[in-house]
Each structure stands twice: as C-alpha cells, then as structure tokens.
Amino acid sequence: MSDSFPSDLKYTKDHEWTRASEGGVQVGITSFAVEQLGDITLVNIDVKAGDTLAEGKPFGTIESVKTLSDLYAPIAGKVVRVNAALTDSPELVNEDCYGKAWMIELEPTGDAATATAGLLDVAAYKAHVDASG
Amino acid sequence: MTEPAATLRRTPMYDAHVRLGGRIVPFAGWEMPVQYKGIVDEHQAVRTAAGLFDVSHMGELELAGPYAGQVVNYLVTNDVSRLGVGQALYTCCCNAEGTILDDLIIYRAGDERFLVVCNASNHEKMAKVFASAAKDHCDFRDLSAETALIALQGPKAFDVLALAGADAAKLVELKSFHFRDAVIANVKCTAARTGYTGEDGVEIFCPWADAASLWDQLITLGEPLGLRPCGLGARDTLRLEARLSLYGNDIDETTNPIEAGLGWVVKMDKGDFVGRAAIEAIKAKELPRKLVGFQVKGRGIARHGYPLRDADGGEIGVCTSGSPGPTVGLNIGLGYVPTRLAAVGSTFMVDCRGKLVEAEVVKTPFYKRA
C-alpha cells in the first residue's frame, strides 16, 4: 500500500487527484487507484478541449488487464487540454500517475481560487483510503 | 465481494500467499490470490521461466471398484476406457440435454481406481453427480478436503524440479497427460504432466498437511530461475491465450460441447453416455452458433458478457471471455457468434459499454508454445 500521497494535491473519494496549475486544474488518478487496478492497458478519454463537464460526470474510462473503471470529473469546468500521450502509452499511469499521466486539465466553472476547496486534503484522503482498504 | 467472509475457505498456502504479497479475493467459496506483483509480470514469468499456482480449491473425487470405470465413462463425453493406468484425459460432463455440467480431468490411478478433478465452482454439484451414479455400483470418496494441488508451469518447470530431488528430476520423462507417484522436495505426491496455461509443466497433488512446505520449497528453489508465484489473474490470461475454456465463462449449462469447440472430447463411438442422444441431434443439424476466438481491432477491450453486434448494431452473440493478451500483444476474446460469422476473417462489433469496436475472428489458440 502506498501510505504517502502528495501533500500539494486535493483528492476525491473516487481516487482522483487535482492540481491547480497556470492553465487550470489538472486531474489524474491516485497511486492507490493504480495499485487497485494493476497493469493499465487502455485509457479512453471521451472529452475534448472545449467540452464542459459537470462535477462527478464521467469523462472517460481506464482499463487494466482485469477490470474497467470510470473516470469522473472532480469539479465542474471546461476542458482545456487532454493528455494525448495516454492514448498510445497507457503504461504511463503505472509509471508516473501524479506527473506524466495527468489526464485532463479543467478551467473551473466558478472561482478558480476556491474551485477545489470542497475536495479532500491529503490527510482526509489518506483517512478515506485507510477506511476503505 | 458479496460472500460473507465466514463462509470462505483457505488453502494450506493462504499464509504463504499473504507473506508473498498476494491480493486475496473471494473465488468460488475460497480466499485465493488474484495476483502478487502484477498479472502481466506473472503471465510473462510463466511464458519465459516458470510460475507456481495454488489450485487447491479444485475438487478431487475418487471412484473405485470393478465398475468404477463404467460409471465414470457413462457420466463423461470422452472415452475413459482408452486410458491406461497412469494416464489422464480432459473431458466434458454433460446433462441429458447435452449441455455442460462441468469440464474435468480424469486420471486412471489403478485398474479399478479413477480420480476426477472438477472446478471449484462446481465441486458440490459434481460430488452429487458422481456420488449418485456410484451408488450401488462402486465406491465414491470426496478427497477434496485432504488433497492440495499445485501447478508448476513454464519452460523452466523441469529445471526447477531438477533441483527438488533425484525423483523429481526424473519427472521430465513423464509424457503429456501421464502421471505417477513422485517425491518432490521430500514430499510424497502425485505429479501429472498437465496444465492450464499453454506451457509445459506439471500439476502436483499432495496431502493438505504437506502442501505449504512443498510450495515454500518450490518458491525458494525456483526463484533464482525466474519462478514467480502466480494468481488467478495470470491463470486467466494464460489460459485465454491458449484458448482453454473457463467454466462459467465460455461453457456452462446453456452451452454444448460441439458449439464450444470441444467436439474432440465427445466420443460417439464409445457406447451410451449421459447427453449422448441430445448431442447426436445437435450434430445432425448445422450449428446455429459457435464459440470463436477474436482479436479486437479498434480501441477497446472485450469483457465477459459484452454483447457482440453486426454492423447495423443488431445483437448477434456474446463475449464469454476477453482481456488483453500479454504475450500476443493484442486484445483478444472468445464469444458465441452465428455460424455464418464463425470463419476466420469474419468481422463483427464488440459493444464495449455502448462503444462499438470492430473485432475479427482469428485462428486459435492465440498463443502456441514453440
């Protein structure tokens, strides 16, 4: 089990992470989710730049050898970029889930400064993982 | 994870699985490891070196007595009378409708003694079927609770055995689908040259009490050669690449051996057996559907239960097994399709949760060892 998660990120109970960056809010999945999935073999991002997503809406799927999981938008926003590298290199998710395997970048619908305020901080996320593990 | 923990059983290797980092899941009433390091890693270990699988959850039934051979032969589709002592065969066991109750390996352990190995998920059902057929004709014993089963598979399986004692070293002389009593790592056991991975190797029956010791020693001996403990996940991808059927996925009580591509284990010339008349009727007509192997051509992974559709979206069949094939490097699957679409090169669509992805029927097995 990974018991350390980056402290500068905000998290959801569905095991997505968000990172506020210049361009918007980056979204990916956590190392806990990656461990649960195993070897990632396919990432399908079903949205493109310009699409808008409501909070909690699926934006794609991720598949490992054994299972498939939906990817959910942690916050409402407009899609600014999607990570095209994952199309041909899904293994990036196993290798670098907090870096190269970011999935989409969102421009928050509301106030950018408080867009992720409602999400879990690292301590709350860790407690959530411990409770579900 | 719907089964209450209290009803789940553990094999003698449970503690070893946990120690080796296995992720334990409920499977057919047992707590079994689905993977240790990772499915792909374990899959490749079996293809290139060796893998060790705990399959002690499977059922072992013994029938003995002068009429045991006849009782067994009446219940299964393959011809058990052809077996010499020390030989085994793969077979289906059908009901009167000619559909499949289970797929089995039958071992002839003596002139009048047969061992039937059945799927864990069918253990209770098969114990009833064989016990009731044996009644008044031969002795029946369910040995499952005292018999552990370990599969050692892969191109280096016999190199591992060569390190496990003088007798184990000679197991390389066993022919395919033959078995004998053996001593492996000082454990008295029975070794059979059979498997469920598409690789060479053995399956080892031993007493419940000795299994953990045998497992630990094989792990220690094999590790320098690249042997890895392997879970149910790799077992599934390995068997799928080798196009070996999985009961509950590809075959069940709604499918018959002929459409499942298992006609080669149905011997119509052996005399009467349960399901014979129904299978004769099935064979007399053109098959409405067949189980085929396919490769997904678009971006998608077929999964058990996904509908198969024609170009217009009409449902034509169902995917029974599907996953990435780590060795073949393709997303592969098995599914029932109408006979007109069963030829190699035929195409159809896999409905991956609403996304239609093209698939093409290909020759199977997807993987065959050199």
pLDDT in tens, B175-212: 999 999 999 999 999 999 999 999 999 999 999 999 99
- Dist CA A37 CA A101 (whole Å): 15
B147-153 sheet: strands from edge to edge? B179-184, B187-192, B201-207, B147-153, B50-54, B227-230
Cα separation of B101 and B251, whole Å? 9
CB distance B323–A65 less than 8 Å? Answer: yes
Question: Nearest-CA neighbor of B187 among B201, B168, B169, B160?
Answer: B168
Measured over the CA atoms of residue B190, residue B193, residue B194 and residue B198, the dihedral's sign is: positive
Cis, bond preceding B207 (omega within 30 deg of 0): no
Distances (CA, A) of B151 to A49, B129, B228, B265, B323: 50, 26, 12, 23, 22
Nearest Cβ partner for B301 among A38, A42, A87? A42
How far A65 CA lies from chain B's nearest CA (Å)?
6
* pLDDT at residue B218, rounded to an integer: 98
pLDDT tens column, B265-306:
999 999 999 999 999 999 999 999 999 999 999 999 999 999
Residue from B281, B270, B334 nearest B306 by CA: B334
- Which residue spans within A46-125 are E strands per DSSP? 52-53, 58-64, 68-72, 77-82, 104-108
Pairwise CA distance, residues B215 & B12, whole Å: 9
pTM, rounded to two decimals: 0.94
Identity at B359, one-letter amino acid code = A
Strands of the sheet with A104-108, listed across from one edge: A10-11, A16-20, A25-29, A104-108, A77-82, A52-53
Is this prediction's ipTM beyond 0.90? no
CB contacts of B38 in chain A (<8 Å) are: 38-39
Tell which residue, B316, B264, B295, has the closest CA to residue B365.
B295
What confidence score (pLDDT) does residue B5 get?
52
Amino acid identity, residue B333?
A: G
The answer, yes or no, to whether residue A112 has pLDDT greater than 50, is yes
Would an 8 Å CB–CB cutoff place B22 in contact with chain A?
Answer: no
